[in-house]
Structures are given as C-alpha cells and as structure tokens.
Chain A
Amino acid sequence: MARSLRVVCFVNQFFGQLGGEDKAGLPPQAMDGAVGAARAVQQALGEAGTVVTTVACGDNYAAEQGERAVAELIALIAAAKPDLVVAGPAFLAGRYGVACGALCAAVQGQLKVPAVTGMHAENPGVELHRRQVYVVQTGAEATRMLDEVRRLVALGLKLARGEAVGAPAAEGYFPRGLTRNVVTSASAADRATAMLLDKLAGRPFSSEVPRPAFPSVPAPRLAKTLEGATIALVTDGGLVPRGNPDSIEPLNATRYGAYSIEGKTSLDATQYDNPHRGYDTSWVKQDPHRLVPVDVARELEQSGAIGKLHETVYSTVGVATTLAHSARMGAEIADKLRAAGVDAVILTST
C-alpha cells in the first residue's frame, strides 16, 4: 500500500469554527490537524492520508486583499510540506469559493502540489477558476458534507498519486476546457449516426462537441418614438472604405472600423471595398447599399420618419469570428453608440 499522504485543508472562518460574519476579517492562520470541515476530509481519507494542518482565512480578508491572503496562505501551506491540498468545499458561498479557486491555482503553480476544491455551479469561483484547477461540483449547502467531500478526496487522491483523471462528467468536476485524445471502438460516422437516431427518437444523447453558451440578453425597449430617435447602421458584412484602412481581417476578425457618412445621401461604390471571405461580395461591391442602406435611411431621416441617422457606420467581418472577439467588439461599439446618444441600431448581416 502507498504511504499515507500529507494533506492540508483550507477553510474559511465559518468552516474553521473560528466564528461567523463577525470574524470574516481574520487573517490567515494555521491550525494543527483537521479542524472544522477538515474533519470530514480526514474521515474521507481514512488510511490514505492525514490532514496535518488546517489553514483558515476570513472571507472578507480573502476578498478584499486577495493577493496578500493567497501569499500568506501559501507560506503557511508550504511549511506543512503537503502532498495534496483540499480547499473547501465552498458550496454557494461566493467569497469562499473565489478564495478556494485562487488558492488552488497558486498551490499548483507555485508549490507544484496538486490541489482540488468543490463548489456549487453558480458559485462565481467556478467561472473564475475552473479552467486552471479541478473544481468538483457540489450542492448549494453543506447538508451532505461528507458525501461531497468524499468526491473531492477521491479526485484529490488520484491527482496526488499521479493517476489518470477521467472526463469531467465521470469524475464530477467542472469542464476545464481541455481536449484529450481517446481511442473509441466506434468510428465517428457510427457515433454520429447513433446520435442522430437518438435525437430523432427523442432519446437523450450528448454531443462530443460542446457548443458555446449564448447568454440570453433582455430585449431593450425603444424609449423614444422613431420620429425623435437617432438610429445607427452597423454591419458584420465587411463593408470598408477602399484600401481597408483598419486592416480588418477577411475572416476571424479581431477589429472593426468606424466610418463617417456625414453629408452623404448615398454610398459611391468606387469608394468602398469588402474583405469579407465568408460570402461572394461581388453584389455588395457593385452597390454597397445592398449591405448598408444609407440611401433609404437618409430618405427616412429627411422625411422625418426617424429623428436622425447617426453619422458613423460601424463595420466588421463576421465569419469564423470567435464568440469572445464578437462579444468584445459588440460591447465596444455599443459603448461608443451610447456615448454618442444613439437610441437604436439596425445591424445588417450576411
């Protein structure tokens, strides 16, 4: 049998039995053996390991002076020479969860010691740290503490022993966004066909390619009448001035341009170009209004149907663009439009 592992646990003031919210300002401290929630870790470890030290830190201290708290905790943990660090579980406690994630990342990175933590899916520590560290999924409250700690410890022991760690669903941790090659007995065609048959029959199936999650955005109300509103034109169809002055990429764009239409009642095709490589741009190059309708928008402005046409058109190339870049560019453009007093946008897309 393998030698008994030295384990250090991290808890907050509450789970370390130091006190409640009144003790949330406590700085990091080390206590001998398993204290408070760490006793569940010791129970789950059994003969496999010994909790030699429990380190604790107040939630507010950790939240308000995060870097300092982590540095102080790391020094306390290093002195205990652990083979494994178990942080939490933090359940739905936000300050605690964030501290557990940050500490595990530092333990792995600075001490080169494996670490594991656990929390509820909606704990902000999950999104902040799941890519760097193993975060086991738990319930929202500590009602099933020992069961949940057993899962943290099982994964922690694998890490400490250098054993292979299975997929997130099998081991119960949040996906870290890693891709690993595996050998399967069925070919991709067989697996895809089986998935399709399951889907058509209404049976559950799980895709091998996770799709990005698109958070739902509440639809804003137009606060003014159209006759009093400033409307902007934005496009992801790639219209740029001739020469593409902002060097917007033909695909997987990371940039966008802001182009003035001040004084223009129409767009002169000879003055524009289009680097978009996701569709045949011939027709738009022939007549840019087929993408950015400055001509009719200007007429609607002059007839009073809309209050004003914003004098800047924002444009980028929307093809193979990552969600992260799209979200960033969209937020930047929205900020600029809002600052300019724009009330609504017509975004034309190909």
Chain B
Amino acid sequence: MTPVAVMVGANRIVQAAGIIHPLGNADLAPEEEKALRRRIVEQALQALRTEVAKPTVFTRE
C-alpha cells in the first residue's frame, strides 16, 4: 500500500511485511518473526532521523 501512502502525502513511509500483518509474518518461527519486526521498527526510527523534502519510501533492505 506504499503508493497510496505516497499519494496522500505521508512523508516518511517504511515498507512493512504485508497488509494482514504489517509487522510480522505468521509463516516464520516466533524468534525470526520478532527479528523481522525489530528490523522494521529500527528502519522506522532511522527514517525518523532522515530529513526528507517529499513523500519518501524507505524500502526493506
């Protein structure tokens, strides 16, 4: 849904893991799933300290 976020003008957009579980993935083992969540949150924190001039998507590494 990141194109929608860009269209409505959200400025810092982090690509997450999917619509039904943006910060998780039920197919992963619990520890792996939590590590995935941690990476997304850390990327959001990184985005927060990045200066942007327009809606910017931070894609998953």
- Listed in ascending order, the chain A residues whose CB lies under 8 Å from chain B are 214-219, 221-222, 225-226, 229, 231, 237, 279-284, 286-287, 289-293, 295-297, 299-300, 305-306, 344, 346, 348-350
Contacts of A280 in B (CB 8 A): 20
Q: Is B41 a contact partner of A284 (Cβ separation < 8 A)?
A: no
Q: Is the interface of B mostly helix, strand, loop or mixed?
A: loop
Q: Is A349 a contact partner of B5 (Cβ separation < 8 A)?
A: yes
Q: Is A346 a contact partner of B24 (Cβ separation < 8 A)?
A: no
- Give 16 A-B contacts (CB < 8 Å), ordered by A residue: A216-B54, A217-B11, A218-B11, A219-B11, A219-B51, A219-B53, A222-B48, A226-B45, A287-B26, A290-B37, A292-B23, A293-B37, A295-B34, A297-B41, A299-B38, A306-B45
Q: Is B21 a contact partner of A283 (Cβ separation < 8 A)?
A: yes
Query: Within residues 41 to 61 of chain B, which ones have a CB less than 8 A from any CB in chain A?
Result: 41-42, 44-45, 48-49, 51-54
Q: A222, A286, A299, A350: which contacts B22 (Cβ < 8 A)? A: A350
| Number of CB contacts from chain A to chain B under 8 A | 88
Q: Is A349 a contact partner of B37 (Cβ separation < 8 A)?
A: no
Contacts of A225 in B (CB 8 A): 49
Residue of B nearest to A280 (CB): B20
Q: Is A219 a contact partner of B12 (Cβ separation < 8 A)?
A: yes
Does B7 touch A at the CB level, under 8 Å? yes
Contact (A293, B41) CB under 8 Å given A287-B24, A348-B22: yes
Contacts of A281 in B (CB 8 A): 20
Cα separation A153 to B22 with both chains bound (whole Å): 57
Cα separation A296 to B33 with both chains bound (whole Å): 11
A236 shortest CB reach to chain B, Å = 11
A342 shortest CB reach to chain B, Å = 12
A152 shortest CB reach to chain B, Å = 35
Cα separation A282 to B19 with both chains bound (whole Å): 12
Contacts of A287 in B (CB 8 A): 24, 26
Q: Is B44 a contact partner of A346 (Cβ separation < 8 A)?
A: yes
Contact (A289, B23) CB under 8 Å given A226-B48, A226-B49: yes
Q: Is A350 a contact partner of B19 (Cβ separation < 8 A)?
A: yes
Query: Within residues 1 to 32 of chain B, which ones have a CB less than 8 A from any CB in chain A?
Result: 1, 5, 7-9, 11-12, 16, 19-24, 26
Q: Is B21 a contact partner of A296 (Cβ separation < 8 A)?
A: no
Residue of B nearest to A287 (CB): B24
Q: Is B49 a contact partner of A283 (Cβ separation < 8 A)?
A: no
Q: Is B38 a contact partner of A279 (Cβ separation < 8 A)?
A: no
Contact (A289, B24) CB under 8 Å given A216-B9, A217-B9: yes
Q: Is A284 a contact partner of B21 (Cβ separation < 8 A)?
A: yes
Q: Is A300 a contact partner of B45 (Cβ separation < 8 A)?
A: yes
Contacts of A291 in B (CB 8 A): 21-23
Contacts of A306 in B (CB 8 A): 45
User: Apart from A219-B54, A346-B45, what are 16 other A-B pairs with CB-CB below 8 Å?
Assistant: A217-B9, A219-B51, A219-B52, A222-B48, A225-B49, A226-B45, A226-B48, A283-B20, A291-B22, A305-B42, A305-B45, A344-B48, A346-B41, A346-B48, A349-B16, A350-B1
